[in-house]
Amino acid sequence: MTTASGHVVTPKMIGERIKRREDPRLIQGLATYVDDIKLPGMLHLAFKRSDYAHGRIVSIDTSAAAAMPGVELVMTGADMVKILPPMPIGTPFPSPDHHAITPDIVRYVGEPVAVVVATDRYLARDAADAIVVTIDPLPAVIDTEKAMTGQPALVHEAFANNLAVPYVPGGSGIDAATGSIDNSTVDAAFAQAEVIISQRMLNQRLAPTPIEPRGVVAHYEPGKDFLTIWSATQNPHIVRSFIAALMGMGQNQVRAIAPEVGGGFGCKINIYGEDYVAAAITKKLGRPVKWIEDRSEAFMTTIHGRDILAYVDLAAKRDGTVLGLKIKLIADIGAYNMILTAAIPTLTMLMLNGTYNIPAIRAELTEVFTNKMPTDAYRGAGRPEGTYFVERAMDMLARELGMDPAEVKRKNFIQPAQFPFATQMGAVYDSGNYERALDLGLKNAKWNELKAERDRAKKEGRLVGIGLSFYVEVCGLGPSASLPTGGWEHASVTIERDGKITATTGASPHGQGNETTFSQMLADQFGVPMADILILHGDTGVVKQGIGTFGSRSQAVGGTVLALAGGKVKTKMAKFAAALMGPEMEANPEALVFEGGKIFVEGNPASAKTFAEVAGYAYVPVPLPVGMEPGLSDEAFWEPENNTYPFGCHICMVEVDRDTGELTLKKFVAIDDCGTIINPLIVEGQVHGGLAQGIGQAMIEEVVYDEDGQLITGSFMDYAMPRATDFPRFELDKTVTPTPVNPLGAKGVGEAGTLGSTPAIVAATVDALSEFGVKHIDMMLRPEKLWNIIHGGQS
Ligand code: MCN
């Protein structure tokens, strides 16, 4: 586009639906994942894993494996005494030892008991299978509530009654300084109640299942005393810190690289035992090693998500005004603490106010060890659970009172003028306009017509129901006070000698599309085409510092710091440009405009210097302007003062087949508000992905262990991942309520879809089955369960 004054203007990119720059290489198979890394002399690892959920290792016979041709090394837990660091990091809870390879007791099916190193992957696998492990079984601790009585056994001797975290209180009347609790507000709220809703609810265990499983390549170079580790990770800088600490090496002796990462959904935040084993073995042998998880291992030994049980009591008046909430949370965290295991359920606590002005809340949290794979962050990570419990209680209240759920929710919303809003749970919501999102949701879904359609269908004998849910979540994680790894992010921006721009970001995207959104931002900031910008990430040898991509933080935190680094470089570049233009401009660089790949005086395109001219001068500054350093490169660290709190309204219609119990999703309308949007196409893609995972949780996904602790859902034959054909077309829309927490006004969106979707679907299904008197159904809503409700409990 050319303006009247004759200069070319780069079209503004922020807010445009730009297709992802990443996709051509991903779609054409041109991307490099960990398994694509092939190094000369590389060896392969395979793990022998426990077949038992709980037991004492009596003996391990590795002789047959060690004798197989091509096997270089076999190690057991006894040979590898190193334990993983006391996790969870930064929390006050004590944690049991967690060995990379267990030396004595196995505590979940799939726990590593030995590792084989061989010249190829298949040999390594065959040799691992030739290891004979004798285990004396102990009773498997599987039932969460029974586990809390110490039955049938203790997962860790030192943790009485299997209580990993015995008791964390939260809510009204807690004195943060002394820890004392005044129950009077909550008791008074319940004393005034005209109606009390009480329900036990389970937010079931899930498997994150990214398409690319975990994987690691480790290469120690003895001559340099330097370790390079390629890992399918969401946070290479955290991998570097942990691996360096575990190996007793300096952080400047370890380089962690996240090549292309095929999805993570939270499960690739962790540093796993296999990562440490790979690092230890390459150092021992001085040869590169590779381990790639197979799908069965991924189901067994990559962290699981959710698995929180809640006892909920909601007190209200008959007009729908909520007076108080009491909630007891029990998190089944599996056998060990991983990096964030203990912290995730505290995020459930944090979100218990939901979008409502609940005047009194009493929350209690207990975390329990069982003989299952540990839980940790899975898309939403604690917040979908909180949303689900509160929304289900609000829906049950509406049903009890015979009111429209939309109106009960509206009645209790936190109002726009109340922001920033300090909740009973200790969060400070930054900004919000919940009623506007509700109104748009009702309009887009044609809520009244939906109700009429449901009623018509019911008259015809069909089981049709509608559901509406609201969510608010904490994301954009920082400041450091709320994130033990550090709540900041780092970025650098360099104008190369030819005027092209290279930027680095410590946020390490693994499917989110930040190479596109971050290029859009810099294109606007510098007035250059996106094609001139390169975004580098995922390599601690290239990106100086970083935290990573999780907690829907990369835009709010990583995007902001990128803009700040860009701002520093732009200011310097303007000074070089002004100096190039002559003495009259030199004193006035602020008057310069960056547009169309040029820098010029406003209204005077003839004054324009190209990026290449200015950059060339900055790197060969003859003469060097007074007080300036040569070059055009700078960096920034930044952390927000608060998290961001995006929100939204999800509405759906479902139908249950009376004969088979099969549930069909017929309509799904979502309104999401993540503040200022950089790329609506990417944001919609993020919402799509989140909805698929939330709806999957509600309808078909569940990790199931049997009573002996065997994983029943250990493959995609048994663990149902949703497919495109399971969904109708999602009808998406947005409201925009910028956050004051960062200068972009952007909140996070990467997890939002997982929050509103589950309660909306369960509410709709309960509505569909209302004629059977059902008030609540635990997820997942499998046909057998629904058929049993329809047929009065007969199987
Ligand atoms: N964005 C935007 N405008 C906003 C907010 C975000 O344009 N107001 C863009 C961002 O630039 C980025 C994307 O939307 O391209 C997501 O940004 P953000 O909400 O900041 O989330 P993160 O980048 O931090 O991603 C993490 C989040 C999480 S926690 C999980 S889990 C998750 C998710 O993102 N896992 C994913 N989305 C995923 N998408 C893919 N493809 N794969 C995963 O593993």
pLDDT > 80? residue 8: no
How far apart, in whole angstroms, are the C-alpha atoms of residue 468 and residue 466? 7
**Residue predicted with more confidence, 12 or 8:** 12
Among the listed residues 11, 16, 15, 7, the one whose alpha carbon sits nearest the alpha carbon of residue 593:
7
Residue nearest atom 16 in ligand 1 by C-alpha distance: 750
Q: Burial level of 182, CB count in 10 A (0-12/13-18/19+)?
A: exposed
* The predicted structure's pLDDT at residue 3: 46
Domains of the chain, with CATH numbers? 23-27+488-638 (3.30.365.10), 34-138+213-261+268-301 (3.90.1170.50), 380-476+642-788 (3.30.365.10)
**Residue 764 pLDDT greater than 70, yes or no:** yes
Please count the residues of the chain: 795
Is 346 close to ligand 1, i.e. is its CB under 6 Å away?
no
pLDDT at position 676, please?
Answer: 97
For the cut 70, the answer to whether the pLDDT of residue 362 exceeds it is yes
pLDDT digits (tens, 9 = 90+) for 549-568: 999 999 999 999 999 999 99
CB atoms inside a 10 Å sphere around CB 187 = 15
Q: To which residue do tokens 């590593």 refer?
A: 112
Query: In this predicted structure, what is the pLDDT of residue 740?
Result: 97
Ligand 1 proximity of 370 Cβ (cutoff 6 Å): no
Residue 647 near residue 654 (C-beta atoms within 8 A): no
- Closest atom of ligand 1 to 234 CA is 44
pLDDT in tens, 118-175: 999 999 999 999 999 999 999 999 999 999 999 999 999 999 999 999 999 999 988 8
- Residue 9 has what pLDDT? 52
Ligand 1 centre from 672 Cα, in Å? 14
Indicate whether 80 pLDDT > 90.
no
178 pLDDT tier (thresholds 50, 70, 90): confident
Helix axes 611-619, 560-581, angle to 10 degrees: 80
- Going by alpha carbons, the residue nearest to atom 21 of ligand 1 is 552
Percent of the chain exceeding pLDDT 90 equals 91
Confidence of residue 86 (pLDDT cuts 50, 70, 90): low
CA-proximal residue: ligand 1, atom 4 (nearest):
677
pLDDT tens digits, one per residue of 439-468: 999 999 999 999 999 999 999 999 999 999
Cβ contact 574:599 at 8 Å: yes
What integer pLDDT is reported at residue 426 of this predicted model? 94
Atom number of ligand 1 nearest to Cα 555: 20
Q: How many CA atoms lie within 13 A of 209 on its CB side?
A: 22
Nearest CA to ligand 1 atom 30: 265
Q: Which residues, 6+ apart, have CB-to-CB distance to 674 below 8 Å?
A: 646, 683, 734, 746, 747, 748, 749, 752
pLDDT of residue 4 exceeding 70: no
Residue 2's pLDDT is 47
Buried b vs exposed e over 403-423: b needs ≥16 C-beta within 10 Å?
A: bbbbebbbbbbbeeeebebeb
Where residue 794 falls among pLDDT bands split at 50, 70, 90?
very low
615-628 pLDDT, tens digit each: 999 999 999 999 99
Whole-number Å distance between alpha carbons of 509 and 472: 23
Are 308 and 385 contacting, i.e. CB atoms less than 8 angstroms apart?
Answer: yes
Q: Kindly give the distance from the C-alpha atom of residue 554 to the centroid of ligand 1, in angstroms, as a whole number.
A: 7
Specify the DSSP class assigned to residue 558.
Answer: I
pLDDT at 249: 96
In the numeric block, the tokens 């290239």 are attached to 542
Pocket test for ligand 1, best of 260, 485, 535, 552 (most atoms within 8 A of CB): 552
State whether the beta carbon of 549 lies less than 6 angstroms from ligand 1. yes
Decide which of 205 and 87 is more confident: 205
pLDDT at position 5 is 47
Residue 524: name the closest of 33, 147, 6, 11 by CA.
11
Average of pLDDT values for 416-424?
97
Which DSSP helix (H) or strand (E) runs through 219? strand 215-221
Ligand 1 lined by 266 (C-beta under 6 Å): yes
What pLDDT digit, counting tens, does each position of 653-696 carry? 999 999 999 999 999 999 999 999 999 999 999 999 999 999 99
Kindly report the protein residue whose alpha carbon is nearest to atom 36 of ligand 1: 265
Read off the pLDDT of each residue in 598-626 and give the average, rounded to a whole number: 94
The C-alpha angle 272, 274, 277, rounded to 5 degrees, equals 120
CA of 611 relative to ligand 1 center, distance in Å? 31
Question: Is 352 a residue whose pLDDT tops 90?
Answer: yes
Q: Whose CA is nearest to atom 38 of ligand 1?
A: 512
Measured from the Cα of 263, ligand 1's closest atom is 44
- Per-residue pLDDT band at 93 (split at 50, 70, 90): confident
pLDDT at residue 795, rounded to an integer: 37
> Per-residue DSSP letters for 153-177?
--SSTTSGGGEEEEEEEEETTB-TT
3-state SS assignment for residue 9:
coil
Q: Whose CA is nearest to atom 22 of ligand 1?
A: 552
- Tokens encoding 310: 């809640």
Instruction: Answer yes or no: is pLDDT of 386 > 90.
Output: yes
Compute, in angstroms, the gap from residue 514 CA to the centroid of ligand 1. 8
Q: Using CA atoms, how far apart are residues 394 and 413, in angstroms rounded to an integer?
A: 12
* Pick from 85-89, 276-280, 362-366, 520-524: least confident: 85-89
Token pair belonging to 461: 């004998």
Predicted local distance difference test score (pLDDT) of residue 6: 47
Give the Cα separation of 375 and 367 in Å (integer). 11
The pLDDT mean for the chain works out to: 95
For atom 9 of ligand 1, which residue has the closest CA?
683
Distance 748 CA to ligand 1 centre (A): 7
| pLDDT for 176 beyond 80 | no
- 278 and 45 in contact (C-beta within 8 Å)? yes
Residue 769 scores a pLDDT above 50: yes
Q: Which residue has the tokens 């209204």?
A: 603
